[in-house]
Copies of this chain bind each other. A is one copy, B any other.
Amino acid sequence: MRSATTIAFKRTGSENEGKPPEQDPGNDSAEEKQEAPILRPDHEAKDIPLITVANMGNQTFREPQSTKEKLGHRRIDEQGAVSYKKVPTNALMQAIQLGISNSIGSLASLPNRDVLLQDFEKVDIVAFPAAGSTITPSHSFGDFRFRTYAPIAFRYFRNLFHIKPADFLRSICTEPLKELSNAGASGSIFYVSQDDQFIIKTVQHKEADFLQKLLPGYYMNLNQNPRTLLPKFFGLFCYQSLGKNIRLLVMNNLLPQTVTMHEKYDMKGSTYKRMASKAEKSKMYPTLKDLDFLENHKEGIFIDPIALDTLMRSISRDCLVMESFKIMDYSLLVGIHNVELGIKERAEQKELSCGEVRPSTSRDKEKVEVTLSKDSGDRNSDEHKVLQEKFSVWDTLDGDVPHGGVPARNSNGDRLVLYLGIIDILQNYRLLKKMEHTWKAILHDGDTISVHNPNFYASRFLSFMNEKVFKKGTAHLAATTPL
Contacts and interface: CB of A to CB of B under 8 A. Distances in A.
A116 B219 contact: no
A83 B216 CA distance: 41
A277 to B, nearest CB: 37
Interface stretch (A171-179, A292-300, A317-325, A419-427): A317-325
B1 A114 contact: no
B1 A220 contact: no
Contact of A116 (B1, B117, B118): B1
A124 to B, nearest CB: 13
Contact of A220 (B113, B115, B321): B115
Interface stretch (A25-33, A95-103, A221-229): A221-229
A217 B116 contact: yes
Give the contact-size bracket for chain A: 10 to 19
Contact of A117 (B113, B115, B216): B216
A221 to B, nearest CB: 7
Interface in A213-240: 216-217, 219-221, 223-225
A324 B220 contact: no
A321 B118 CA distance: 10
Contacts of A1: 116, 118
A114 B225 contact: yes
Contacts of A217: 116-117
Nearest to A325: B117
A327 to B, nearest CB: 12
Contacts of A324: 116-118
Contacts of A116: 1, 217, 220, 320-321, 324
Contacts of A216: 117, 216
A313 to B, nearest CB: 11
Given A1-B118, A118-B1, A320 B221 contact: no
A217 B220 CA distance: 11
Nearest to A217: B117
Interface string A300-339: 0000000000000000010011001000000000000000
A324 B153 CA distance: 15
A61 to B, nearest CB: 38
Contact of A114 (B113, B219, B321): B321
15 contacts: A113-B317, A113-B320, A114-B221, A114-B225, A114-B317, A114-B321, A115-B224, A116-B217, A116-B320, A117-B216, A117-B220, A117-B324, A118-B324, A216-B216, A219-B220
9 residue pairs, one from A and one from B, having the closest CB atoms = A117-B217, A116-B324, A114-B224, A223-B223, A117-B216, A118-B324, A114-B317, A216-B216, A114-B225
Given A114-B224, A117-B216, 14 more contacts: A1-B118, A113-B317, A113-B320, A114-B320, A115-B220, A115-B224, A116-B217, A116-B320, A116-B321, A116-B324, A117-B217, A117-B220, A216-B216, A223-B223
